[in-house]
Amino acid sequence: MPYYRQMGEIPPKRHTQFRRDDGGLHTEELMGEEGFSYDSALLYHLYPPTALTAIEEVEMEDQAMSPNHPLRPRHFKTHKLKEGGDPVTGRHVLLSNSDVSISYVACDDDSGLFRNAIGDEVAYIEAGSGRLESVFGALPFKMGDYVVIPSTTIHRWVLDDDATFRALFIEASGGHVGPPRRYLSRNGQLLEHAPYCERDLHGPTELILVDEEEVDVLVKHRGGLTRFQFGNHPFDVVGWDGCLYPYTFSIHDFEPITGRIHQPPPVHQTFEGPNFVICSFVPRKFDYHPDSIPAPYHHSNVDSDEMIFYHEGNFMSRKGSGIEPGSISLHPGGHTHGPQPGSVAASIGKEGTEELAVMVDTFKPLDIGPGGWDSEEDKYAWTWLEGR
C-alpha cells in the first residue's frame, strides 16, 4: 500500500503509444494484486517481459516441518546456524504454518535473480547493508531496515562488504503485507495516530537498465522452484508508476506509543499480513504512572503463537533465560508466558529500555523447521522455575 510514486519515463496517458528511440513500442506491463482490484504498478519495458527461452524444474532442498509437539516454549539461537549461500538460497527455515514462513540467513554472497510468486516477503536486516535491485530500480538497505518486497517482483540482493549479511525473512504464503488497516484513512493515507508516516517509507532511488540476453530467474511458486530463462534481462524498465513497489522502513523510524501504564503489544504493530502481524519493540521511555510496572504482565495468547527475534539490548523481561542478541523465543498458544522470575520487580522504577526486537504473531500454530531444530537451546522451557 505505499503511496503513489513514479520513476523514469512514462507516457502522459496510460495504455497509449509510448515509443522507444528506434520507433518501436515499449511493452507496458500492469503488475496488479487481487486481480485488477488492489494495488498495482504500470511498468514500461524495452522488451516483452513474456519472452522466455528456457524453462526448467529446480529441485528444492528438503525443509521438512514438524509440529511443536510435545508443546513447549522454545529458544532458538540463530547465530548457531551455518553461514553461507546468499539471501535467497541460504535461508534456514525456522518456523512456518499455512500462512507464513520465517527463516534466517547469514551469508556474504549476492543472490541471483529471484521471483517469489507465492506471497510478499519482508526481510528484517540484522546486520549488513547493500541494495535490493529489482525491475523497479535500486533500493538501498541497511541494518534495522524492513525490506518489503511485493510478490512476483523480480529482484536480486547485492551486498556491501562491510559485514556479514544477517536477516530474518518473513514470507507470506499468499497475500500481501502492509501497514495495519487501523492506521490508514479510507483512501490509504497513514493517519496521525500511526507510529510512522509516508516520509518513513523509502522506495527505489534509481532505475537499473541491463542489456543482456538469456538471463536466468529462479521462480518460487506453489508447485516448487522453476528456472525461467528470459530472452532479455528483466531489468529493462525505462519507467514505472503506481502504488506497488518494494520499499524499506527503518525500525529506528518507528515512533513508540507509550502510556502511564503498560501498553499492550498491538501498539508495537508495524505491518499486517494474512493471519499474522509484525511488531517492532524499540528503545522507549517506560510507563510513567507512579505505581506502574514496566515489565509485561503474564499472558495467555488464546489464538496465537508468538515469536520474538531479539536484535539488540539486554532484554530485561527475559533475564536469566539465556536469551541474547540473535535469539528467537517461541511462545505458543496453549502456554501462558511472561517475564522470567525477578524481572517484574526489577523493572519497577526503570526509566526506559534500549531493547530492539521484532515480533511475529501468527493466528495458527507454528511448526518447526530444520533451522529451528538445529539452533534450539533446550533448557528454555524450565527458565521460569528458579527464583519464582
**Residue number, 143 or 295, with CB nearest to Fe ion:** 295
Closest distance of CB 182 from Fe ion, Å: 20
**Contact predicate 137/204, CB 8 Å:** yes
Residues 256-295 that bind Fe ion (CB under 5 A): none
CB of 287 to Fe ion, least distance (A): 17
Tell me the CA distances in angstroms from 184 to 175, 179, 271, 299, one per residue in order: 18, 8, 12, 28
Measured from the CB atom, the residue of 79 and 337 that comes closer to Fe ion is: 337
Q: Output 143 or 170, the one with its CB closest to Fe ion.
A: 170
Q: How far is the CB of 359 from Fe ion (least distance, A)?
A: 8
Shorter beta-carbon distance to Fe ion: residue 44 or 384? 384
224: Cβ–Cβ under 8 A, 6 or more apart, which residues?
57, 58, 60
Is the distance from CB of 280 to CB of 270 less than 8 angstroms?
Answer: yes
List C-alpha distances in Å: 350 to 148, 330, 337: 35, 26, 22
Decide whether 227 or 262 has the Cβ nearer to Fe ion: 262
| DSSP string over 78-107 | GGGSPP-S-TTTTPEEEEE-SSEEEEEEEE
Q: Tell me how far, at minimum, the Cβ of 73 lies from Fe ion, in Å.
A: 10
Q: Which residues of 152-191 are buried (b: 16+ CB within 10 A; e: fewer)?
A: bbbbbbebeeeeebbbbbbbbbebbbbbbeebeeeebebe
C-alpha cell at 140: 538501498
Which of residues 190 and 357 has its CB atom nearest to Fe ion in the complex?
Answer: 357
Residue identified by cell 517492532 is: 280
Size of the site for Fe ion (CB under 5 A): 1
Q: Which three cell numbers stand for residue 213?
A: 540476453
Residue with smallest beta-carbon separation from Fe ion: 306
Q: How far is the CB of 342 from Fe ion (least distance, A)?
A: 18
Shortest Cβ 227–Fe ion spacing (Å): 41
Least Å distance, CB 331 to Fe ion, is 6
Shortest spacing between CB 306 and Fe ion, in angstroms: 5
C-alpha cell read off for 307: 515469536
Category of 363 on φ-ψ map: left (φ > 0), alpha (ψ -120 to 50) or beta: alpha
CB of 108 to Fe ion, least distance (A): 34
Q: Which is nearer to Fe ion, 306 or 355 (CB)?
A: 306
User: How open is the CA angle 350-354-356, to the nearest 5 degrees?
Assistant: 135
Q: Cβ atoms within 10 A of the Cβ of 5, count?
A: 17
Nearer to Fe ion by Cβ, of 335 and 350: the residue is 335
Contact positions with Fe ion (CB under 5 A) in 294-333: 306
Which lies closer to Fe ion via its Cβ, residue 99 or residue 306? 306
The contact set with Fe ion (CB under 5 A) reads 306
